[in-house]
Each structure stands twice: as C-alpha cells, then as structure tokens.
C-alpha cells in the first residue's frame, strides 16, 4: 500500500536557488521521521518533472509539488492546480505540475489526486552558486508553510490555505 | 548548405523574429530570423548557451567525486555524464580493462538510459507534431492531445520511460543521483530478485519498441515527400563504432564519413580526439562550432546522434534492430539520408536495439557477479567517450598528485550538432517563411527541425514561472511590431499593432 500523500520536489542542488525543493524535502524527511509519521508520506526528488512521474501520483489521496520559482511571488506561492496540456518546446526538458496531471488523466488512469504547488521564489540559479540571501529567507517561510501543510494533510484544508499567503 | 544565411549583409535594416525557447533561467535556446521588407529571409541563427561553467565548477574537486557530481550537469541524461566521466577516470586509476561484471552493469545502465531518453523524445516531444501535423491545432499538438487521440501510444511512452528508469535505479543505486559507476568499475551488481523484476517486463518492452519503429516507418511512408526533404542538411557524420564496426553506444573507436557515406577516418582512438576535432568560436554564439580538423571549418562540420550512428555503423548486433536498420538503409537507396526527420526513425531503431540489448544482458549471469573493480598504474589524464542519447559525448580530465582535477574539457552532443541544427533551420526558414506572414504554425516548423536533434538547453536547471517560448517581430527601424508568447498551458498570447 502506497503512502497516501506524495511530495515531489524538483531541483538541482548545484544550481543556487534551484536547490530549494530537495533541501526542503530533506528537512521534511527528518521532521516526519522524528514525529514517527514517515509512513504517511512518500518523498520524491528529481531534477525536473517528467512523464513517468505521473505514475508516482497513482493511488494517492493528495499530492504536493515543491519547486523554485523565478519572477514568482515572494517569499512563496501556494496554490491548487488542475490538469493542463503541456506546451510543446524545443527539447525534452521538464513538464509543469499541471501538465503532469494532464498526462496522468490521459494515460488511462482515473482522475489525479488533489494537487498543490508550493513555489518558493528564487533569484540565483548559476552552476555552483549557494542559496541567495533572499532564498535563505524565503526558505524559512516555506518551511513553516510546509510544516503547516504536513501537520494536517487534508485536501479541503489545503484548499482553504491556498492563496492565503505565506504567514 | 546555405551558410550564407548565417550573417546578413545589412542586419540593421531588417526585421527580426525571435523564437525564444526559454525554459531555463540561464542556458536557453533562441532562434533569430531577420526578414527584409518583402519578408525574404536574410539571416537565421540558433543560439544556445553552452555548459562552459561546468568545466570550471569541476576543477579543484577530488577525481572520485566527479562521476557523481557531473550528473548535475544534465537532468535528462545524467547517466551519460556519469559513465563518460567514469570511463575517463578508469584511465586515471589504471583500470585499462574492467571486470566482465563491471562492464556489463555499466552497459545495462547506459542502454536503460538510451531506452528511456529515446522514449521520452519520441512519445512526448516529437510524436504530437508527426501525428497531427506541424501546423495543426496547437491545443492538440502536445502529449495530452496525443493521449486523447492515441491513448495506447501515449501510455506506452510513459511505461517505456518508466522501465528505463527502473534499469537505471537498479544499476546506479538510485533513480537520480546514482552512484553505481566509479573509477575502475562499479560498486554494485544486480541481485537475482532485481533481474527477475526487469525480466518480467522486458519482452513487452521489446515488443512495444518494435511497434514504435513501425509507427515512425508508417509516418515516413505516408508522407515521404515531406519527410525526405524537410530541413535537409548534407554533412559529414561521426560516431563511435565497436571493434567490428557495429553499433555500440558504450565503447569503441571514432569513425567519420562524408555526406556520401565515404569513410573520412576510422578506428581512431578517442583518446586522440583533440587531434581530429577542433572547435570554432563565432562572435554571435555562446556555443562553439566543432569541425573535423583535417577538413577545415567550412567543410568539416558534422552531425552526431541517432541518424549519424545508424548510418555510420556496419551492422547492429541485435537481430530485430538489424532488420530495421537494413530496411532503413534500403529506404534511403543505400546512400546516407540527411533529412532531420529521419532522426526519429533512426532513434526508434536505436530504442529497439537498446531493448534487445537489455534483454540479452539480463540473461547474462555476469551481471550477478561480485568482481566489481580494477585498478593499476596511476595516470594523470583520461578521456572518456560514450554515445549519449543525443550523440557523442566527450569527457577529458587531468588530475594532479593530490587527486584533484586540474583540467576538465567536455564536448556534448548538442555542441557537435551546432552547425547542423543551424543549417536545418535555415533550410526550413527559406522553404516555409520566405515571403509569408509569420504565424505560430509556420514558426513551429522551425521548432520541429530543432526537435529532431533534441538539443540539450542547459537542462539541469528548472524553475517555475518562466515563459517557454516568445516570438518578437521587430521592424527595420527596431520597433516592436508584435510579440507572441506561449503560456505554460500551451496557449498563445498575442499583442501588437
């Protein structure tokens, strides 16, 4: 039996603020372990979302995507998402969380679980860069938001929190 | 060849159309097209930021970290960098020959990578264009549209990709950030349970891969005139081939052919790559332009990747893929094809070969062995070359007596294909945009040509909130006439006069 909640974090630890997803996921893993709640969640990190991640959404009751944002609201944005078509690009890179839900629905699976995005605003993404000072501050706000979400992983509650701001 | 369209005589007097395929914060691709007042194409350029920062990033690090660290270069083919770095550093630790278990585990990992990458490319990126048409309704031209019209095709694409990821997870230790390959060998083999898990699915995977070849073959047959002529750019080709001239993605020597298929060089030890390949810097591009040194900048440029490999080898050493290769060669009349859309056909033949090779390796008991690592006389330099999904990948390192990397040089497949991609889009621009008002459908033809090569656009960075594509049309006086932006949901927003 799969854990009911899946948290997918996308990012590259060697590219400055892009590391925020994996870093938050690491912190969440420790927090859940200390609380004896690891079995409720599956935590997945990857460089970016791809079509096979649709299969990671199967048999879940709730999904959370964590990612860095560029030119997105600071310190963070938290919002519910719905399935959408992926824009055709020029290379095989990444899908948006919305496009991943679209893939899920169209490959013969039932409707995807309620899904939300925690997008943490960043500004520095160069190879070898550390987290920017701004992202370090945003990371703390994001961590508090993540704790609140995971304390009560319930779709109705998350919907109420969506759009309510960071703090 | 229409290199004359690389630089217009009076660019300041021309209108500028920019296809800005920005999907990353830094490191992105952009196409600029200059049109004169009669909409005649005067200049076409593809700009891609290269990974030069990574070479500085790796200097000063202990060599044993490198096979793991280099995976952060590319989120799409991290295994290729993992293995190319390992091969280079095998030489540094004196492992002139790997144990049978180590080599077969690495091969299994690599062919898993080829399978999943080719599946992603074809089913996710390319097939919506091919099945619906280049200027079809934009709302259908994506994998969701594909899934609605061809649900089984879309489902297979996801499951093929997933299987390849499972092969990587088992051989590399983890789905991402794998550590399986180390200088001198590997740090784990496959357990009988893991083998059984993969064997349960591999025959289905081979069957689906055959069907994928059939699908692309049928598409070629249905519209041969388009497929054989779209964006054709004649050039030399280069790839690794095995010791008997066979297709080999993991190891071999370098072979290059001219545009007619004649051998330019063969059996070249890839450690000597720098004697055969030089790179030209052009002031308008961040990415270098490699060429075969003996033939100069103008005539020495070449293609790499599936189309080059399938035509460069003498045979494919698995039966089903070899049948398909022969049919492909026959279809082309025995002469090399230089049609970018044929990349997709060659790519699917390679995917079938990868699936067959994985099947064979899973039946080889050597992958269960425990003799994993070799070492020998220490060296200060190593070159590793591998055929990554998109083409030849070169890693070159020097290491000092304190085990720290002092020099790193990488040539990635997208760099090898730089001139070929530029030539292909020039052909397409002239054929489809000349004298016409620019529309999204017409601009997609340019992107279709780029997608054939599947360039890496510094893909190891990802962030939300970016515009995947924007198009600007600027008149001869530099004024913005209109701009066209593609939103994250695939819709287009248009503004202007």
pLDDT-derived band at A118 (thresholds 50, 70, 90) equals very high
> CB of B425 within 8 A of CB of B46?
yes
pLDDT-derived band at B16 (thresholds 50, 70, 90) equals low
Chain A residues with beta carbon closer than 8 angstroms to that of B141: 88
Segment holding B353, helix H or strand E = helix B342-362
Chain B residues with beta carbon closer than 8 angstroms to that of A52: 116, 158, 161-162, 165
Secondary structure tally for chain B: helices H, strands E: 17, 17
A45, A51, A119 ranked by CB distance to B158: nearest: A51
Q: What is the mean pLDDT of chain B?
A: 85
More confident residue, B169 or B497: B169
> CB of B192 within 8 A of CB of B199?
no
Q: State the complex-level ipTM.
A: 0.81
Q: Mark which of B353, B387, B416 sits at the end of a domain.
A: B416
Judged by average pLDDT, the poorest of A32-46, A102-116, B177-191 is: A102-116
pLDDT-derived band at A129 (thresholds 50, 70, 90) equals confident
Judged by average pLDDT, the poorest of A31-40, A57-66, A113-122, B277-286 is: B277-286
Chain A residues with beta carbon closer than 8 angstroms to that of B148: 106
CB within 8 Å of B89: residues ≥ 6 apart:
B63, B64, B66, B67, B183, B184, B382, B384, B397, B399
Hey, how many other C-beta atoms are within 10 angstroms of the C-beta on B247?
26
What CATH number should be reported for the domain whose range is A5-42+59-161? 3.40.50.1450
Is residue B99 predicted with pLDDT exceeding 80?
yes
Is residue B480 predicted with pLDDT exceeding 80?
no
Q: Are residues B103 and B11 in the same domain?
A: no
Taking residues B366-385, what's their average pLDDT? Answer: 97
Segment holding B231, helix H or strand E = none
**What are phi and psi for residue B417, nearest 5 degrees?**
-90, 5
Tens digit of pLDDT for each residue in B300-310? 999 999 999 99
Supply the CATH number for residue B363's domain: 1.10.645.10
User: Taking CB atoms and an 8 Å cut-off, how many pairs form between chains A and B?
Assistant: 194
More confident residue, B10 or B256: B256
> CB of B467 within 8 A of CB of B19?
no
**Which residue of B lies nearest to A91 if distances are taken between CA atoms?**
B454
Residue B242 to residue A129: CA distance in whole angstroms: 40
User: Residue B28 has what pLDDT?
Assistant: 56
Tens digit of pLDDT for each residue in A131-165? 999 999 999 999 999 999 999 999 999 999 996 65
Taking residues A98-125, what's their average pLDDT? Answer: 87
User: Residue A127 has what pLDDT?
Assistant: 75
Q: Closest Cα partner for B102 from B317, B311, B370, B315?
A: B370
Q: Are residues B106 and B220 in the same domain?
A: yes
First to last CA, chain B: 36
Q: Is A6 exposed, middle or buried (0-12, 13-18, 19+ CB in 10 A)?
A: buried
Chain B residues with beta carbon closer than 8 angstroms to that of A13: 72
User: Residue A126 has what pLDDT?
Assistant: 77
Is residue B49 predicted with pLDDT exceeding 90?
no
Buried b (16+ CB within 10 A) or exposed e, B190-221: beeebbeebeebbeebbebbbebbebbbebbe
More confident residue, A135 or B71: A135
Please state the domain count of chain B: 2
User: Residue B414 has what pLDDT?
Assistant: 87
Most confident of A76-90, B137-151, B312-326: B312-326
Distance from CA of A43 to the nearest CA of B (A): 13
CB–CB contact A89 B125 (8 Å): yes
Judged by average pLDDT, the poorest of B135-149, B173-187, B379-393, B395-409 is: B135-149
Distance from CA of A103 to the nearest CA of B (A): 6
Buried b (16+ CB within 10 A) or exposed e, A110-146: eebbbbbbbbbbbbbbbbebebeeebeebbebbbebb
Q: Mark which of B386, B416, B446 sits at the end of a domain.
A: B416
Domain ranges of chain A: 5-42+59-161
Taking residues B406-422, what's their average pLDDT? Answer: 92
Segment holding A124, helix H or strand E = none
User: Residue B301 has what pLDDT?
Assistant: 97
Q: Are residues B74 and B17 in the same domain?
A: no
Q: Are residues B408 and B431 in the same domain?
A: no
Chain B residues with beta carbon closer than 8 angstroms to that of A90: 21, 29, 447, 450-451, 455, 457, 469
Distances (CA, A) of B428 to A142, B196, B224, B442: 46, 48, 17, 10
pLDDT-derived band at B284 (thresholds 50, 70, 90) equals confident
User: Residue B142 has what pLDDT?
Assistant: 59
What is the C-alpha R_g of chain B?
Answer: 22
User: Residue A70 has what pLDDT?
Assistant: 84
Alpha helices, DSSP H, located in B30-150: 52-58, 66-69, 78-92, 100-119, 127-132, 143-149
Q: Which domain holds residue B452?
A: 3-49+417-496
Distances (CA, A) of A151 to A103, A144, A147: 29, 11, 6
Is residue B461 predicted with pLDDT exceeding 70?
no
Tens digit of pLDDT for each residue in A41-93? 999 998 888 888 999 999 999 999 999 998 889 999 999 999 876 554 544 55
User: Residue B4 has what pLDDT?
Assistant: 67
pLDDT-derived band at B459 (thresholds 50, 70, 90) equals very low
> CB of B290 within 8 A of CB of B327?
no
User: Residue B135 has what pLDDT?
Assistant: 67
Judged by average pLDDT, the poorest of B39-48, B142-151, B271-280, B412-421 is: B142-151
Taking residues B150-178, what's their average pLDDT? Answer: 88
Q: Are residues B31 and B179 in the same domain?
A: no
Strand intervals (E) in chain A: 5-10, 41-46, 62-70, 76-81, 115-122
User: Residue B488 has what pLDDT?
Assistant: 42
Q: Are residues B245 and B346 in the same domain?
A: yes
**What are phi and psi for residue B429, nearest 5 degrees?**
-60, -45
């Amino acid at each position: 039996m799969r854990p009911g909640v899946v948290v997918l974090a996308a990012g590259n630890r060697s590219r400055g603020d892009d590391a925020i997803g994996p870093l938050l996921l690491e912190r969440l893993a420790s927090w859940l372990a200390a609380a004896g709640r690891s079995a409720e969640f599956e935590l997945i990190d990857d460089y970016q979302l791809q079509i096979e991640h649709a299969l990671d959404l199967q048999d879940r009751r709730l999904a959370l995507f964590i990612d860095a944002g560029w030119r997105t609201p600071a310190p963070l944005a938290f919002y519910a998402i719905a399935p959408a078509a992926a824009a055709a690009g020029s290379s095989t890179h990444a899908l948006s969380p919305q496009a991943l839900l679209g893939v899920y629905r169209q490959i013969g699976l039932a409707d995807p679980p309620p899904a939300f995005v925690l997008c943490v605003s960043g500004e520095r993404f160069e190879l070898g860069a550390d987290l920017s000072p701004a992202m370090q501050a945003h990371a703390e706000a994001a961590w508090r938001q993540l704790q609140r979400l995971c304390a009560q992983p319930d779709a109705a509650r998350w919907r109420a929190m969506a759009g309510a701001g960071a703090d | 060849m229409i290199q004359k369209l690389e630089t217009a005589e009076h660019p300041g007097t021309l209108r500028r159309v920019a296809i800005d395929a920005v999907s990353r914060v830094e490191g992105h691709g952009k196409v600029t097209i200059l049109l004169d007042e009669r909409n005649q194409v005067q200049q076409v350029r593809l700009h891609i930021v290269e990974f030069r920062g990574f070479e500085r990033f790796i200097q000063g690090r202990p060599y044993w970290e490198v096979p793991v660290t280099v995976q952060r270069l590319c989120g799409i083919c991290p295994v290729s960098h993992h293995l190319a770095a390992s091969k280079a550093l095998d030489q540094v630790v004196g492992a002139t020959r790997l144990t049978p278990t180590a080599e077969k585990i690495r091969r299994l990992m690599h062919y898993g990578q080829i399978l999943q990458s080719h599946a992603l490319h074809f089913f996710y990126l390319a097939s919506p264009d091919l099945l619906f048409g280049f200027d079809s309704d934009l709302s259908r031209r994506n994998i969701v549209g594909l899934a609605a019209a061809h649900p089984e095709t879309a489902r297979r694409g996801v499951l093929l990709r997933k299987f390849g990821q499972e092969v990587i997870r088992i051989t590399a230790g983890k789905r991402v950030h794998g550590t399986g390959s180390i200088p001198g060998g590997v740090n784990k083999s496959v357990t009988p349970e893991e083998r059984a898990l993969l064997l349960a699915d591999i025959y289905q995977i081979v069957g689906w891969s055959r069907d994928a070849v059939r699908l692309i073959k049928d598409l070629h047959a249905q519209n041969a005139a388009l497929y054989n002529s779209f964006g054709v750019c004649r050039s030399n080709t280069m790839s690794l081939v095995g010791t008997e001239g066979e297709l080999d993605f993991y190891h071999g020597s370098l072979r290059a052919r001219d545009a007619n298929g004649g051998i330019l060089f063969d059996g070249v030890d890839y450690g000597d790559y720098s004697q055969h390949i030089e790179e030209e810097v052009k002031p308008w591009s961040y990415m270098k332009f490699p060429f075969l040194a003996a033939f100069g900048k103008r005539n020495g440029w070449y293609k790499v990747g599936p189309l080059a490999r399938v035509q460069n080898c003498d045979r494919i050493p698995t039966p089903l893929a070899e049948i398909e290769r022969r049919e492909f060669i026959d279809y082309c009349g025995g002469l090399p094809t230089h049609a970018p859309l044929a990349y997709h056909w060659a790519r699917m033949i390679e995917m079938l070969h990868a699936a067959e090779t994985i099947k064979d390796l899973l039946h080889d008991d050597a992958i269960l062995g425990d003799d994993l690592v070799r070492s020998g006389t220490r060296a200060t330099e190593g070159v590793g070359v591998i055929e990554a999904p998109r083409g030849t990948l070169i890693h070159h390192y020097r290491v000092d007596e304190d085990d720290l990397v002092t020099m790193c040089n990488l040539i990635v497949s997208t760099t090898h294909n730089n001139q070929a991609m530029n030539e292909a889009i020039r052909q397409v621009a002239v054929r489809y945009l000349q004298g016409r008002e620019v529309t999204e459908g017409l601009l997609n033809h340019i992107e279709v040509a780029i997608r054939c090569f599947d360039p890496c656009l510094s893909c190891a960075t990802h962030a939300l909130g970016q515009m995947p594509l924007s198009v600007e049309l600027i008149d001869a006086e530099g004024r913005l006439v209109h701009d066209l932006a593609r939103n994250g949901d695939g819709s287009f927003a248009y503004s202007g006069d």
